[in-house]
Amino acid sequence: MAYEASEIMTAHALRHTTAELKKITTYNDLTGLIDESIKFHNKNKALNAGQIQFATEQVRDGFGKKLLWEDIENEKKRIARVTDMAQGISAALAIRGFMRNYSGKITTYMTGNKWPTDVERFQVKAFGFTDYNSADIVVKPWHNHFYGISLKKKKTVAAQNPTLINKAFDTAFHLKQADNKDLFDKFQVLKEELVNARTNYFAGIVRDAVEIGNGTKSKPEPIILKKDIKGVNWRRTIKPKNLGDTPTADMLELFESKKKDLTQFEKKRAYIDTKGWASADKGYFEDKTTDSNSMRYYVNKRLAERPNPLWQEFTEVISTGAEELATHLINIILKTKLFEELDYKEIKENDFNFALVTGIGNISAKYDVTISSGKVIPLKTTLCGLDRIENKLGKNIPYKVEQDIEATNKSDAAKIFFKLTRGGFHIMDLEVRYKGSFTPQPQFQANMSADFKRKLDVECSGGPG
């Protein structure tokens, strides 16, 4: 599992009262609190016990390393680590305010692949996910009352809100066959089409980089030389009739690059991820990605084309399952069935609450500290907003995923935008993007729309903060 510093910082901040936390205003105050937290962490070795609980030594040690700050040599990274405590304090103040517990002792449970004994019954496995209950920490302010907290962070109040989900795109179609066989089968077909489209599209760019070149000169030179591509029959690298068709073995090789010559190409990079070009001083190992001759420049240029064949295929495939996908996404992103799943495990709803909490804090290059009020959006508030929309439109109006044409056309980056709506009401912003490498699945990001957040604030009390 990945360990996030702001989560353990929040847990330690929660050991202190609201009044104590509000006295922390300087960089030295923050580092002093971290040092005190390190001593506490090193002293309390017990598992599944104490004020901050861990299920295993591995989880305990993993989070313990995220408290360390003084030995980080890079100044920006060191400040970033201390900033995690500023954001943790912001989140802790918001959590105490949400629970209306400003000075009482709080127990915090650190979650992960294995949850501490007291809260393991809340680790819900559902809808294809082992962590459908996505609480990063669970806090207990008093006996038999628990709050699951999904933690986010940002530097300023005005900064863009952190995404609710940021995972590989096929996560959007993640479902177990036992949950819904018909929908599972449909999602499998859609995923296969998208994988094929991605393979054919990027293989086609590699083919063009070899046969056509960069197109920036009167006599364009190949970016990659044909002789440097191994194990490919060029007569079979023809453009498929439909981008979602099963790729030929040769197109698959152009994309996966399993037979590439490691004396000429980096081991970790496929042809499509190559940064250099044939005639560069360092050949394909060149790292001047802003040079118009480079492979990376060429790929980014092609991806930014409008209309773009790959994004068109994504749009068509997503449109095929627009309603089913939207209903699925509402559930897995906003956790709309979490209380039902907890009830199924014979846990009363009022024993467990869930909220999205954003800690807001920053440290400037001059070590000036800003700790702003954190934002809390309880799950009950989110459900209220969705109920208000349904009550106005009626239960028969489905959720839908549709392309956000305006946002897509405005962007010149390697991304495409969608929106999740119901009866024309805009609920969530969705984004599919490539970042850093083109061989893995693109990243899928989602967040609440401005319209939906406004509805939560105006009609559902929005939550503390």
Q: Which residues make Cβ contacts (< 8 Å) with residue 458, sequence separation at least 6? A: none
Task: Return d(Cα 264, Cα 186) in angstroms, integer.
Answer: 42
User: Quick one: pLDDT at residue 39?
Assistant: 97
Measured between alpha carbons, how far is 337 from 349 in angstroms, rounded to an integer? Answer: 12
Q: How far is residue 305 from each of residues 310, 352, 357, 411, measured CA to CA in Å?
A: 10, 48, 38, 10
Structure tokens at 325: 């996908």
H or E stretch covering 448 = strand 443-448
Q: Are 328 and 175 in contact (CB under 8 A)?
A: yes
For residue 342, the model assigns a pLDDT of 86
Contact yes or no for 361/30 (Cβ under 8 A) = no
39: its two tokens: 């001593």
Q: Would residue 215 be called left, alpha or beta, if left means φ above 0 and alpha means ψ between -120 and 50 degrees? A: left
Rounded Cα distance, 449 and 430, in Å: 9
DSSP character at residue 152: E
Rounded-to-integer distance, Cα 137 and Cα 156, Å: 23
Please report the pLDDT score of residue 69 as a whole number: 97
Is it true that the peptide bond before 464 is cis, omega within 30 degrees of 0?
Answer: no
Rounded Cα distance between 37 and 31, Å, is 10
SS3 390: helix
393 exposure class (CB count in 10 Å sphere: 0-12, 13-18, 19+): middle
Q: Using an 8 Å Cβ cutoff, are 137 and 110 in contact?
A: yes
Strands 415-422 and 399-403: antiparallel
Distance (Å, whole) CA 196 – CA 204: 12
Q: What is the pLDDT along the chain (465 residues), one digit of tens a residue?
A: 689 999 999 999 999 999 999 999 999 999 999 999 999 999 999 999 999 999 999 999 999 999 999 999 999 999 999 999 999 999 999 999 999 999 999 999 999 889 999 999 999 888 878 888 999 999 999 888 999 999 999 999 999 999 998 888 887 888 777 778 888 888 888 889 999 999 999 999 999 999 887 665 555 789 999 999 999 998 888 888 889 999 999 999 999 999 999 999 999 999 999 999 999 999 999 999 999 899 999 998 898 888 889 989 989 888 888 999 999 999 999 999 999 888 766 566 558 899 999 999 999 999 999 999 999 999 999 999 999 999 999 999 999 999 998 888 887 777 889 999 999 999 999 999 888 789 988 888 999 999 999 999 999 976 555
pLDDT (0 to 100) of residue 251: 95
Domain ranges (residues) in the chain: 1-154, 183-311
User: Parallel, antiparallel, or unpaired: how do β-strands 352-363 and 425-433 relate?
Assistant: unpaired
Q: CB–CB of 430/446 below 8 Å?
A: yes
Q: How far from chain centre, in Å, is Cα 28?
A: 32
**Do 134 and 337 touch, CB atoms closer than 8 A?**
no
pTM, two decimal places: 0.88
Dihedral Cα 340, 344, 348, 353, nearest 10 deg:
-40
pLDDT at 218: 59
| pLDDT of 186 | 87
